[in-house]
Each structure stands twice: as C-alpha cells, then as structure tokens.
Amino acid sequence: MTGQQTKPFGRADAPALLVRDLFKFHGPPGEEVGVLRGVSFQMERGEFLCIMGPSGSGKSSLLHLLAGLDQPSAGHIELFGSSLAEMAQRERTLLRRQAVGYVFQFFNLLPNLTVEENVGLPLAIRGQRPEHHQERIAALLTRFGIEDRARALPHQLSGGQMQRTSIARALVGEQPLLLADEPTGNLSQAHGIEILETLRRVCDEDGRSVLLVTHNPRDAAYADRVAFLVDGQLDPDHMLHGPGLTAQSVHEALVALHI
Amino acid sequence: MALAEIVAWASLRRRPARTLFSILGVAVGIAVVVSIAVVDRTTLQNARPDRAQGWRADLEVRPAPGVVDPAAELAAIVGVERFTEVLQGEAQLQGVDDGGQPAGERAQARLIGLEPAAFDMGLLRLRSGTALGAANGGAPEVLLGAPLADRLGLDSGDAVWLAPPARAARVDCVEGALVQQRPAGPGPTPTEFRVSGVLEAEGAGRIASGELLVVDVSAARALLAGQFQPSSFWLARDERVAPEKLQERLVANFAVDLRRGAIVGQQADEVAFRNGVRLAGLLSLALGLYVIFHTLSMSLVERAREMATLQALGASRGQIARIVFSEALVIAALAGAVGLGLGLLLAKAMLEAGISSLGLTGDVRGQFDVPWDEVVPLVLAGVGIALLGSVAPLLRARENEAVPLLRGEDPGAASGKPGRGARSFHVATLLLVVAALPMAFFLALPLVGEAERQLIGLVLLGLGVLALLIGTPLLVPGPVAVLARSLADPLRRLSPFSGLLAARSISLSPTRVAASAAAVALVTAAFVGLRGMTSSLALENENWVQEGVMGKLWVYQLGGVPWQPLAQELRAQGLVQAVEPLDARLSAPFRVVGLPVAELAQAGLLAERPDLAARLSSAPSLVISRRLASQKNLRVGDQVAIATPSSGVVPFEVLAIDDRHGYLNRPHERAYAFAASTHMARLFCLETERSDTLALVLAPGADPLAVAEATKTYLRERGLGSDKTGFGLASDIATHERNDITRDFVVFDVILLLALLLAGTGVLNGLLLAAMERAKELGVLRALGADFGQIARSVLLESAFIGIVGGTLGLLLGLGLVPVVVSSLRVLSGLDLPQPGLQAIYLLGPALALGISVLGGLYPLWRMGRTDPVRAVRTG
C-alpha cells in the first residue's frame, strides 16, 4: 500500500484532528482525579505528531478519547471535521472504523487468528470478505517483511513481527489517521527503530496522519512535531518541530520539563 | 468469510481442547438425560403386556354392599379422571335373513356393556364404522370385535340378533361349595341390534381375543335381565395421582383391582425409583452445564480483551454479538447432536446390559423405544441453556469499557469491584443451572406420579444443595478466598517449592478452585446419598430376610400332594416345626394366601400370639406383611374389602403386621397377606388340602439339605411329586434378594460415573486454563532452574487439594443428606426403610473424588510439559 490517498476523508478543509479544552477525570464522584485538564491542539492531515509524557501523564487516555473509545468529561474533539461529542456511540464506532487505525503497545492481536487473518480483520469488520482483498493484504505483509509468517499465529512471532502485523492491520482499511500508543514500548531497540521507520514511511508515502504517544526521545525524533503532556496539559512553551527536532533536543526538553 | 465466521471459527478450531471439553461437558450431560428418557420409555413399553397405546383403564372396582350410587361416589373421589360402568356376560349373535329374522351361524361371544365415557378413556378404537349412538327409536347398536366380525362377515350397518346364551347356569362359590346358579326370569329373548362399527384388536378390543360384543350398558342390562349381573367400574386415573393413593381413597366403598399391565412403573416404589433416576439425570446435566459455564467464566478475561480490541478496530456491538452467538451456537449445536447420539448409544448399551429404569432386568434386552416427544425437548433445553449460558455473560462482557481491557486491567478494578462480566456471569450461571434448567428439565421429563410434599421437598433440597455449592464460590468469593488461603497454607510445609507454588495458585484463584471443588463435592454428596439409600434398602431387606426367609425351606412343583401327612412325617423326624401350603391364594387386591392356623400355631407369630390364631379362625381377617402395610398404609384394625365370587365384598380385618409367615418367592412378592385357610376355602372355594408349593419352617438346628433329602424320600416312597419338584434354600433366596438391590441400582452407578467424569472435566478445565494463564510464570521458573517434576508436583498438589476439599465437603453434605433422603423415600416408596448409620462404603466417595481430581490434573500437566519455556516467557 504505497500510493497516495486521492480523495480527502471527511470535510476537505478540516484538519485531521482538532482538540479543544479536553478534560478527563477518573474515579468515583467526589474522588475524581484529573487525568487530562484542558488539552487543546490541532493536527494537520499528513502530519506525524508525537505527544510525549511520563508514565501516567494521560497519553493513552488521550488516544482513547481521540479514537472515540472513551468519552471526555468535558471538551471538544473533531476528527476530519466531525465532532465526536455530537455522535451516538454507533456513529463513533462507524467513524473509527472508517477513519482510525490503531496500534497498541501490547499489540492486541487476536491470539486465535493467523497473521493474515489479523491483518484482514478491519476489512471483515466493514463487512468485506478478506479473501477478496488478498492482494492488498499480501502487499502489506510484504511491505512489512512478514509475508513468510502469513499463516503463523501470534504466539509464533517475535515482538517486532507482532507489532508490524499490528501496523499492517491498522493500515489495511486505508484509514487516514493512525493512532500509535507506545508502539515500541515492548520491543528491542532494533525492532523499535524498524517500527518507527515504518510509521514514518506510512506518513510520507501514504499521506496518512500519524499520532504517536511515547516517553522515548528516540521515538519522538521521527515525528514532524513533538508536544509534551505534563500534569494533564500540553505545554505550549516546549513544542518542538522543524529541522531542530532531534532525539537530543527532545531529551533536553524533557530535562527542562523535569520529566 | 464474514467477521463472525472468521473469529468464531478460528477460536473453535485453534483451541481444540477447550472446544472439545466444552462440547463434551454439555454433550455428556445431555446424553445422560436422553439415555434416561429412552431407557425409561423402553422399560415401560416393554413391561406392558399388550403394548397398547391409550389403554387407560387403570383400575377395576366393584362397589361394596350398601353403596347406593357408586357412580356418584366415584365422581367425588380425587384422582378418578374418568370411569365407565361395566356389565359383562355372554351373548349369542346371529345374522338376519331377507325377512329380518334370525338366520345363519350362531356365535357365542363375550358381551360387555359400557358407557359412552369408554370412548373418551381410549378403551375402544374403531377399525370401521362409528361409535355407539342412541337408539332413537330404532334398533340399539353394537360394536363387534374384529375377529368376530371377520369370521361372520359382518360390518357396519348390518342387522344382527343378540340373545343371552341358552346354557347351563353358571357355577358360583357359596359357603365353600360350588353351586349352580339358576337364572331367574324368562328364557332368552333375541333382540335386534344394528352393527355400528368394528373394533380394532387393541385396548378393550383384545378382550376374549376379539370375540366380543360391546353395547351400551343399559342395553346390556336389558339383554342380561334375569341373570347374575355383577356391576363393576373401570377407572382412568389422574396420572398425577399414584395408584396406591387412589386405592386408599377407594377402599372404603369399593373392592379394587389394579389393572397391572396398564400402570407398570406407577407403583410407589417404582415411582420413587424412576424419579430418583430422573433427579440423577438432572444432576448430571446441571453439572455438565456448570462445568462449561465455569470454563467460559475463566476464559472471560481473555475474551473480553478480544472484544475490546475488536471494538477499538471499529467493530460494532452487533458484530461482536454475532461473533459470540456464532461460537456459542456451534458449541451448543454440536453438543446437542453429540449428546443425542451419545445418549442413544448409552441407552442402547444400558438396555443391552439389562439396565432398566426399574432396576436390572433381562427383559429389556433387544428393545429400544425412543420417546422423541421427550428427547427432543430435553436436547433443545440442554442446547438452549448452554447457548444462553455461553452468550449472556459474553454479551454482558462486551458492555465493559474497552479502555481498561485494552490496558489489561479488570474493568471493575477502578471501582474496587469485580468485573461486571464476571459478576453477571456468576449470577447467570446460578440462575440457569439452579432455576431455568430444572424448570426446562421437568417440563420435558416431568416427575412421575403425584406431586407429594416429600417429593417436592426432596427436589427443593437437591436444588438447594446445588445452589449452595455453586453459588457460594461464585457469589461470595471473599470468604471463600480466606478459607482457601487457610486450607492451602499447610501445602507449603509439604514441599518447600511445589507446595509454595500450589498454595499460591490456590490463594490467587480461590473462585476457580472452589468451583472445581464444588463440582467434585456435588458428585461425592450424590454418591454418599445414594450409598446411604442403598444401605437403608439393604438393611430393610436384611431385616426381612432374617424374619421371613431364614430358617425355611421351600418345595416347588409337588404336583398337588396332600401336605398334612408330609408335615406330620417331617415333624415326627424332628426336622420341621410347621408347614405352610402356599397355593390357596388369590391376587385381588393384593396377594392373599390361605394358611392353616393350626399349623402356623406350631411356630412363629401364632405360637407367640394364640389370641391371633383364634381370631383368624373365627372371622375373615388378615395378617399382613410389613411391605404391604407400608405400601397400602394399612394398620392393625383396618378393614380391607375383598370381592368374593358370590358373597359380594367381604371386609377382612387386619389383625397384625408381621413377615414370618406366607412368603412365596415364585413369583417374588413382599407385599402380601395371609388369612385362615378355612375362610379362603369357604369364600373362594380354594383347594386347601393339597398343595403344589410348600414352605417348611425348619426345626432349630435342622440342616435344610437333610430336610430336602427327607422330603424327597417321603415323596419317592409314596410315588408323589414329579421330576420337576425342586427346593429353594433360604440362603439362596437371601443372596438373590441382597444382590437384587445392587443390580437394581446399577443405573444410578452409571449416571454417577458419568457425573464423576463431568466433575473431573471441570477440574481439568480449571487447571488447564490456570496453567495457560500462568505459562509465563512457569516459563520463568523453568528458566530459573525449576525442573518439570517440581512444577508437576505443584499441579498435582493443587488437584489433590481440590479432590480432598471437594471430597470431604461432599462426604459431610452427603452424611447430612442421607437421613433426609431415607425419610422422604420411606414415604414416597412405601418401604419401611431404617436409617443406615455410618457405612464404610461412604469413604469410597472422597477416594473417588481424589482420584478423579488427580486424573484431571494429568492433561494440563501434559500440556505444560509441551510448552517451550522460552516461548512461554515471550508470549505470556
């Protein structure tokens, strides 16, 4: 799957993501803990955005809200011009199906499905028969170097292979937005680099928007822009982007933020 | 393939062990109940001599003297569903010539007068024509038996003449003499009838081999005018009322004859036995479903995470529901099909082995009647509940929030409560197994007989124990966890490493361990309860053997020898105390033997109670056996109405309840009575001087073989007896009766064995899933140098722990159940059952529980042995 997307998804003039004053509290009434406390940002189509933060800073919670899996306590989220707040659960599910590919830290491959079956899963969810899209699936497997593992079950794969399968699964439906939740967190350095290069290519070659959350400066250096989530808020003073964005600059920003 | 097919099929195919054990668990449960239904139906069908469908005359009653309106009396008795008056006699049948006058062959046939209700009772079925109609001024109508109609070439619409036979008057027994009864009134007058139809050769149509004329009861009365007309009634019983109960209600005003062929399996002890088999079947099905639900419960976390992933990938709740439903449907449908097949095979095997629902008998070999009207609903109930049990919790689980599941957290962890999926699963399991399943089961296969208090009490007690065992670990896991921890703690001291692992596993999964132990306990309790019941039966049998059998010798097929000279000879030799001639007997309403009082007074009851001997001789009275007293609820002083050939119904007073005299084992019958032979001769004209069968009451210390030899010598010297004359030793009869109980209860042993296998499957599933969950931990331990033997010991320790806890709990519960079961059975079966006390055989229950639990640990061990530690570490 190497071609550029020809038809823009959603409202053509809308950004991939628009987030305003997003709040999320956890816990029983009266004992709520604020995980996100007024997060606002915008992400353009075709952009590779990285959100960094220490463990427990709310990175994963933010992704769950953006994917419509969870509902915010307050605030506004727009995906390609569609406001999640105004949608019923079923509509959110349909939007997620069409617009969002998800890559998990723990891969979340279905243990009983083979690699190619796992990859074809989003197509089956859309009501399409994966066997009718064998070429697309095979191309993705080849692209991510796991074509010889097509019939293997998840427990027969290495960590890198599992995550590549997970990314192939996120791409097979040609969703314009890829949400990646600490995708290298469980991988060796070599496998991690391999995954990040893959995500970069997905952004560059396919024109997809990629939102990566991580706490690793090395990973963040692959993004176009890096934002820091501290105490449930994005720090506007330490946003990194452009040619100066390197692992070193990210590291320095983290030090400056006492993360 | 569609999403549901892809995910469901992959889950089934790539987890063959889980799929297989899930299917087998439900299938074995279904198989047990299917086999019970088939065996029960085959047993009953086979025991009905004519295998007649719809033959519903359960009892024949004759009104006692003084009953003015017997029909009104019968209508008022609870348990009488329908009845018809019956007049029986003989009649001559003749066709007509062209002038309408009697002509052609005369045929004599049985004449039966019935009321129209006979058709509603299913007594009569028509091969052709119509039912009896009103005469409406024309000729009255008659139905012909098929052979009679065929022989005479008669059919519907033909005119015939009927007349009472011009023959010698019948002979009746009057005061001990056979007397010819001269009919009063005018001679036979032919009456013209019209043939309204021809009867099928079934039900009442088989009477007199079909040489039969059926007319309205009023027409019969007119036809038989001037003849002796004993009026009787045929009753159809309300099936919910036991025959004995109905008989008790009838006995005040009627002499009752049970039409035995039509009500096989309905005697109180048979009803108790059949209900016991049904309850054991329900236990097995409940256990099978519980095992499966428990297995599903343990895999719920994994499945919930799968669902959360699918949700994150955009699957709707409807799609997830379809996946869950597809998977459950495949398991349930396969389980239903396999269960049906296994059940039929099991039933076939049981019947071929002579195992019936009324005990062990060779009669059912080669027979096979499948009651599809019961089997299909039973299979559907099993499949439906398995489906509900599989789908409901998983559908509930899909309601869980995806976010915590994707993180690998328990969805309820944040609130400090268990996951909604797990909790709802436990509630659903309890409701399905303890409430929905029994309701569906009893709708498809109702309990036999009247819904008596004791029976309902027993069912509720069983369900209560089931609910307690299943519900406790599921609904109050906290206390169970504390208990599990304290019980598991000593394992640490048994083996530092393996014991520690086992104790930790038990402490961390108290619900899993408790649920497995509960299944084991359930079977153990059932085993102990059953053994208590059989011990009680054996004890009751032993008491009877000692009183009614030991110290006697039976002589058969003497060929009707004068028994008194033989008695004198044997007594003179000091070999016997008394002789009981057993041929002067009748069987309505139960076996009554006429015994010579003077002879009985030589030993036993009448020797101890001379007053009884005097009263037996002076008036019609009975000494009844304990079994008869229990079954008919008779007490000393009660009156039993017995119909006589010529003196109407004669009341016999019950003088004593005792088993020492009058038992005859060919055919075996413990519910009997004896009266003075003088009364039997006077009222029934029975032969009392000669006898074909004798019971010799041996003198103290007499060798039965020596007595047999002396008897043979006596007979040989006098040219009496025959080649067929034989002897029955008390020890042989006692052994046969003792073994009979063991043989009868084989069917329970088979069911319990299958239930035990199900409990073992539960242990296996639990340990297997636990082993898979702990694969990473075990891989780490292997990496740290633990050898497989150490890990194996920990699994075996855990399985043994389940077996010991379950077995002990089951033993204690069973010990508590035995007195209740025996007390209820005493009422239900009409048997005088003693409480058995502690029996060594009870210990076999916990031993089997331990054995099956350890066996259940072997497969998980084998699977663990095949797990690559490196892979386990990486994929855990």
Helix (H) or strand (E) holding B729: strand B726-729
Could you tell me which residue, B223 or B619, shows the higher pLDDT? Answer: B619
Identify the contact set of chain B against chain A, taking CB-CB distances under 8 A: 1-3, 6-7, 10-11, 13-15, 302, 305-306, 308-317, 319, 401-403, 406-408, 414-415, 871, 874-875
Q: So what's the pLDDT on residue B851?
A: 92
Question: Which residues in chain A are contacts of B779 at CB distance < 8 A?
Answer: none
What is the per-residue pLDDT across B165-203, written as a single tens digit (0 to 9) for each? Answer: 665 455 667 777 766 665 555 556 788 888 999 988 766
State pLDDT tens for residues B133-147: 755 567 889 999 888
- Token duo for residue B86: 């019956």
Looking at residue B313, what is its pLDDT?
A: 86
Please say whether the dihedral angle defined by the alpha carbons of residues A134, A140, A146 and A152, taken in this order, is positive or negative: negative
pLDDT of B616: 93
Query: Which residue ranges of chain A lie beneath pLDDT 70?
Result: 1-7
Nearest-Cα residue of chain B relative to residue A99: B314
Whole-structure pTM value: 0.67
State the pLDDT at residue A51: 94
Chain B residue numbers touching A96 (CB-CB < 8 A): 312-314
Residue B713: strand, helix, or coil: helix
Query: CB distance B403–A100 less than 8 Å?
Result: no
**Quick one: pLDDT at residue B321?**
82
Distance from CA of B314 to the nearest CA of A (A): 4
Residue B328 has pLDDT above 90, yes or no: no
pLDDT of residue B674: 94
Q: Do A112 and B313 touch (CB under 8 A)?
A: no
Model pLDDT for residues B245-269, shown as the tens digit of each residue? 777 788 778 877 655 444 445 556 6
Beta pairing partners, A43:
A17
Residue B54 has pLDDT above 60, yes or no: no
3-state SS of A70-81 is: CCCCEEEEEECC
Name chain B contacts of A153, Cβ cutoff 8 Å.
14
Nearest in space to B548 (alpha carbons), one of B632, B674, B681, B712: B674
Task: Work out the average pLDDT over B775-793.
Answer: 72
Q: Nearest chain A Cα to B305, which residue?
A: A108
| CATH 2.60.40.420 is the classification of domain A17-256 | no
The 10s digit of each residue's pLDDT in B409-446 is 554 443 334 445 556 667 777 888 888 888 888 888 77
Residue B500 Cα, gap to closest chain A Cα (Å): 29
Say what percent of chain B tops pLDDT 90. 16
What mean pLDDT is predicted for residues B23-52? Answer: 77
Number of neighbours of residue B187 by Cβ within 10 angstroms: 9
Candidates A154, A173, A151; CA nearest to A163 is A154
Query: Any idea where the domains of chain B sit in the sequence?
Result: 1-48+273-449, 59-263, 458-543+737-876, 545-736
Confidence of residue B400 (pLDDT cuts 50, 70, 90): low
Q: Do B6 and A69 touch (CB under 8 A)?
A: no
A39 touches chain B (CB under 8 A): no
Q: Check residue A1 and give its pLDDT.
A: 42
Name residue, tokens 């004599």: B108
Q: Which of A93, A110, A159 sits opposite B314 (nearest CB)?
A: A93
Give pLDDT tens digits for B602-637: 888 888 999 999 999 999 999 999 888 877 778 999
In the prediction, which pLDDT does B227 show?
64
* Structural domain spans, chain A: 17-256
Amino acid at B605: L
Q: Structure tokens of B105?
A: 């062959």
In sequence order, what are the residues at sequence separation of 6 or more whose Cβ sits closer than 8 angstroms to the Cβ of residue B8? Answer: B323, B324, B326, B327, B330
pLDDT of residue B214: 92
Note whether A125 contacts B7, CB cutoff 8 Å: no
Distance CA B349, CA B734 (A): 29
Q: How many CA atoms lie within 13 A of B636 on its CB side?
A: 6
Do the Cβ atoms of A61 and B403 come within 8 Å? Answer: yes
B161, B155 Cβ separation under 8 angstroms: no
The pLDDT, as a whole number, for residue B686 is 80
Q: How far apart are CA B256 and CA B25, in angstroms?
A: 48
Which of the given ranges, B145-159, B302-316, B388-402, has the highest pLDDT on average?
B145-159
Q: Contact at 8 Å (CB) between A229 and A59? A: yes
Q: What is the least distance, in Å, from the CA of B420 to any CA of chain A? A: 16
What angle do the packed helices B477-494 and B453-475 form, to 10 degrees?
Answer: 70
Give tens-digit pLDDT for B847-872. Answer: 999 998 898 888 888 877 776 665 55
B357 band by pLDDT with thresholds 50, 70 and 90: confident
Q: Is the pLDDT of residue B316 over 90?
A: no
Task: Please tell me what DSSP assigns to residue B700.
Answer: T
Distance from CA of B769 to the nearest CA of A (A): 15
Does the beta carbon of A67 lie under 8 angstroms from any beta carbon of chain B? yes
- pLDDT tens digits for range B525-559: 888 988 888 888 888 888 889 998 999 999 988 88
Q: Residue B1: its chain A contacts at CB < 8 A? A: 124, 129-131
